[in-house]
């Protein structure tokens, strides 16, 4: 695997791969990689792509400077994991390469509606930062396909809408959530958990499963979510949001909808964890 740090080198490498007739599969990340990221690389490889990954901790998508400062930077370890997974090229730019005019003078992409509420409600400006950096990265890499984990369900919706609205020639491939044996969704933020918090953390997925059971049983959304918030409290979480939304556009679900997604975000200690569970035709779509 080759690692490059500049847009010029990145474009040279991608051009060569294209000249060899390869399709480009892109895996954008912020590093501190885990098996969830590696499953994105595996998906790109299964499609016989020339796999380009990026690692860039994007300051534009952090609303809290402390959160940005403590975000783990583990480039050497990440490089080893990507190389072992068969990634072809790593783009690891610094902040000046990405925002040469400064972040304040950067054109911002705002994706309406799907960006609002949920994580967009608790983290103002977050999805503008995500959409802007992903747009720039797509223009730099010019991939045929880009791979995103479904743990960030709203992020996938934002990126799909951006790509559709701006007629960007890239296929967005959502990849199922990777979970630990006890159900906890893999996340770079799990590293912030103490041993005791890690034990409690599985309670978020348990709560989403209980919401799915309750919703299927009596379809009373308000009561289901009220009970679930109490359960999360008892499990040691501070709930940020728990919602049932329509899968197609993330609008609030009604009892008539048969394809919904249960989305949750909750704090445990200093870590803010997010997770979701899809229910299609009233059957839960289990993530492997
Ligand atoms: O999901 C992430 O890691 C980031 O939001 C992304 C898509 C790499 C943009 O910085």
Atom of ligand 1 at shortest range from CA of 30: 3
Domains detected in the chain = 2-175 (3.40.50.620), 188-283 (3.30.1300.10)
Which residues is 284 bridged to in the sheet? 279
pLDDT exceeds 80 at position 288: no
Collapsing DSSP states into helix, strand and coil, what is residue 122? helix
What is the arithmetic mean of pLDDT over 149-171?
A: 98
pLDDT exceeds 80 at position 286: no
Catalytic-role residue among 34, 37, 110, 218: 37
Are 210 and 238 a contacting pair, CB within 8 Å?
no
Query: Any idea what the Cα angle at residue 266 is, between residues 111 and 280, rounded to 5°?
Result: 65
Question: Token digits for 18?
Answer: 């294209």
What's the confidence (pLDDT) of residue 218?
84
Round to whole Å and give the CA distance between 207 and 217: 15
Please say if 34 is a catalytic residue.
Answer: no
Q: For residue 64, how far is its CA from the centre of ligand 1 (angstroms)?
A: 16
Round to whole Å and give the CA distance between 191 and 271: 9
Question: Token digits for 132?
Answer: 């802007």
The helix (H) or strand (E) run that includes residue 36 is: helix 35-46
Question: Token digits for 8?
Answer: 């010029």
Choosing from 67, 155, 173 the residue with most ligand 1 atoms within 8 A of its CB, the one to mutate for a pocket test is: 155
Q: Note the pLDDT tens digit of each residue in 57-93.
A: 999 999 999 999 999 999 999 999 999 999 999 999 9
Are 103 and 59 a contacting pair, CB within 8 Å?
yes
What is the arithmetic mean of pLDDT over 261-269?
A: 97
What's the confidence (pLDDT) of residue 285?
57
Per-residue buried b or exposed e for 183-194, using 16+ beta carbons within 10 Å of the residue's own CB: bbbbbbbbebbe
What's the confidence (pLDDT) of residue 280?
83
Q: For residue 256, how far is its CA from the centre of ligand 1 (angstroms)?
A: 33
């Amino acid at each position: 695997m080759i690692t490059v740090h500049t847009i010029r080198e990145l474009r040279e490498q991608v051009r060569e791969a294209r000249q060899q007739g390869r399709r480009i599969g892109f895996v954008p990340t912020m590093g501190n990689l885990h098996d969830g990221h590696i499953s994105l690389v595996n998906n790109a490889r299964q499609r016989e792509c020339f796999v380009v990954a990026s690692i860039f901790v994007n300051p534009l998508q952090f609303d809290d400077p402390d959160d940005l400062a403590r975000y783990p930077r583990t480039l050497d370890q990440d490089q080893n994991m990507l190389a072992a997974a068969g990634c072809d090229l790593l783009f690891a730019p610094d902040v000046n390469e990405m925002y040469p005019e400064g972040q304040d003078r950067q054109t911002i992409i705002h994706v309406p509606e799907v960006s609002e509420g949920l994580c967009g409600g608790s983290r103002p400006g977050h999805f503008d930062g995500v959409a802007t950096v992903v747009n720039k990265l797509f223009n730099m890499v010019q991939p045929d396909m880009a791979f995103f984990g479904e743990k960030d369900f709203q992020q996938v919706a934002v990126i799909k809408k951006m790509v559709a609205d701006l007629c960007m020639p890239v296929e967005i491939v959502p990849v199922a959530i990777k979970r630990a044996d006890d159900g906890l969704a893999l996340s770079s933020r799990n590293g912030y958990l103490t041993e005791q918090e890690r034990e409690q953390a599985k309670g978020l997925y348990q709560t989403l499963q209980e919401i799915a059971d309750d919703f299927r049983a009596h379809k009373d959304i308000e009561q289901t979510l009220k009970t679930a918030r109490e359960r999360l409290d008892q499990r040691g979480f501070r709930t940020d949001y728990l919602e049932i939304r329509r899968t197609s556009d993330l609008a609030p679900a009604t009892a008539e909808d048969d394809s919904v997604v249960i989305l949750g975000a909750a704090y445990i200690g200093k870590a803010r964890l997010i997770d979701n569970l899809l229910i299609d035709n009233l059957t839960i779509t289990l993530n492997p």
